[in-house]
């Protein structure tokens, strides 16, 4: 018996990294999953992995910075799944450079991708969850929202905004049993890993300096936390931020 049997889920940014790992793990635990992202080939590959393992998934391509595409995804998910139990907002971009080099275009991109698409999605899916008796929203923020990360200024600011928004939305809809929680990943090896940690030497230096648990994280480390927040095991948890950071925050 899976921890998410008979549940349905929508996972954004599901074509790689944390989103892909979470979609696969949700399906492994019994959920039917709608995956979304902009790359059709990678999306099809994720669905194939899930189906080859005996799970059930669909892919819907969408650029969530465009509201019409985001709403089309919502309509597809609702029509395909019948109801929505879990929404995982995970799509994101990272601009990594010195503060004075950040541009207006950088700010616009990070705002549209890392903040606005999350709030649009919550506004789209919360009414469905209320009608269905409740649900779980998981917003992927970042340890950068509480721990200063040099060169990730706008990224950290938007992730802090998502963490704050999540708490407020959680409070408003707790009585309707719509739970809203965040995950704060620390150093995780994904396609968004900064250049300085992209080599073995760079990864070792990061582990030695800030990862007291002895290694960098991998997407599955975050997916395990997402499964917990998506499941009934976390039924008494809302408005919280689950930190999975390789002990980075206590390293200094």
> Can you give the pLDDT at residue 246?
85
pLDDT in tens, 45-74: 999 999 999 999 999 999 999 999 999 999
Residue 224 has pLDDT above 90, yes or no: yes
Mean pLDDT of 172-192: 91
Q: How far apart are the first and last CA of the chain?
A: 42
Position 196 confidence tier, pLDDT thresholds 50, 70, 90: low
Angle among Cα 90, 96, 98 to the nearest 5 degrees reads 145
Quick check: is 113 in a domain? yes
252 in any annotated domain: no
**Is residue 138's pLDDT more than 70?**
yes
**Could you give the CA distance from residue 234 to residue 243 in angstroms, rounded to a whole number?**
15
pLDDT for residue 197: 63
The answer to whether 197 and 209 have CB atoms below 8 angstroms apart is: no
> The tokens 């002990």 sit on which residue?
247
Q: Give the model confidence (pLDDT) of 142-169 as tens digits.
A: 998 998 888 999 999 999 999 999 999 9
Give the structural domain span for 142: 8-244
Q: To 10 degrees, what angle do helices 17-28 and 219-230 make? A: 50
Residue 155 is among the residues annotated as catalytic for this protein: yes
Supply the mean pLDDT for the chain. 93
Question: Which residue in the list 99, 155, 224, 228 is annotated as catalytic?
Answer: 155
Can you read off the two tokens belonging to residue 96? 């990594």
Confidence at residue 195, expressed as pLDDT on a 0 to 100 scale: 61
Number of separate domains in the chain: 1
Residue 249 within a domain: no
pLDDT grade for 134, boundaries at 50, 70 and 90: very high
Lowest mean pLDDT among 37-46, 121-130, 189-198, 241-250: 189-198
Burial of 207 (0-12, 13-18, 19+ CB in 10 A): middle
- Which class for 189: exposed (0-12), middle (13-18), buried (19 or more C-beta within 10 A)? middle
**Residue 99 belongs to some domain of the structure:** yes
| Interatomic CA distance for residues 111 and 224, integer angstroms | 27
In a domain, 238, yes or no: yes
CATH of the domain at 89: 3.40.50.720
For residues 189-203, average pLDDT: 70
Q: What is the pLDDT of residues 79-126, one digit of tens each?
A: 999 999 999 999 999 999 999 999 999 999 999 999 999 999 999 999
Domain-located, residue 217: yes
Of 193 and 94, more confident: 94
What pLDDT, on the 0 to 100 scale, is given for residue 14? 97
Domain presence at residue 225: yes
| Global confidence as pTM | 0.94
Task: Answer whether residue 203 shows pLDDT above 80.
Answer: no
User: Is there a domain that residue 12 lies in?
Assistant: yes
- Copy the structure tokens of residue 200: 């073995």
Distances (CA, A) of 182 to 239, 241, 252: 8, 5, 23
Dist. CA 7–CA 231, nearest whole Å = 9
Using the predicted structure, report yes or no on whether residue 136 has a pLDDT greater than 70. yes
């Amino acid at each position: 018996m899976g921890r998410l049997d008979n549940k349905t889920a929508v996972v954004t940014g599901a074509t790689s990294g944390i989103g892909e790992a979470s979609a696969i793990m949700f399906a492994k635990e019994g959920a039917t999953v709608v995956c979304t992202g902009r790359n059709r080939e990678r999306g099809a590959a994720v669905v194939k992995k899930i189906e080859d393992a005996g799970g059930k998934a669909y892919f819907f391509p969408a650029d969530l910075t465009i509201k019409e595409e985001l709403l089309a995804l919502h309509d597809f998910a609702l029509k395909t799944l019948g109801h929505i139990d879990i929404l995982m907002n995970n799509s994101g971009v990272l601009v990594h450079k010195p503060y004075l080099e950040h541009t207006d275009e950088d700010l616009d991109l990070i705002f549209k991708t890392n903040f606005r698409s999350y709030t649009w999605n919550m506004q789209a899916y919360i009414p469905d969850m209320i009608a269905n008796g409740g649900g779980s929203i998981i917003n992927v923020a970042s340890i950068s929202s509480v721990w200063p990360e040099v060169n990730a200024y706008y990224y950290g600011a938007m992730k802090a905004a998502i963490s704050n928004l999540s708490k407020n939305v959680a409070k408003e809809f707790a009585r309707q049993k719509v739970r809203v929680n965040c995950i704060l990943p620390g150093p995780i090896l994904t396609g968004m890993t900064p250049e300085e940690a992209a080599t073995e030497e760079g990864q070792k230096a990061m582990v030695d300096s800030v990862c007291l648990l002895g290694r960098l994280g991998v997407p599955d480390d975050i997916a395990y936390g997402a499964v917990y927040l998506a499941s009934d095991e976390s039924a008494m948890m809302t408005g919280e931020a689950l930190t999975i950071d390789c002990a980075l925050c206590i390293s200094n």
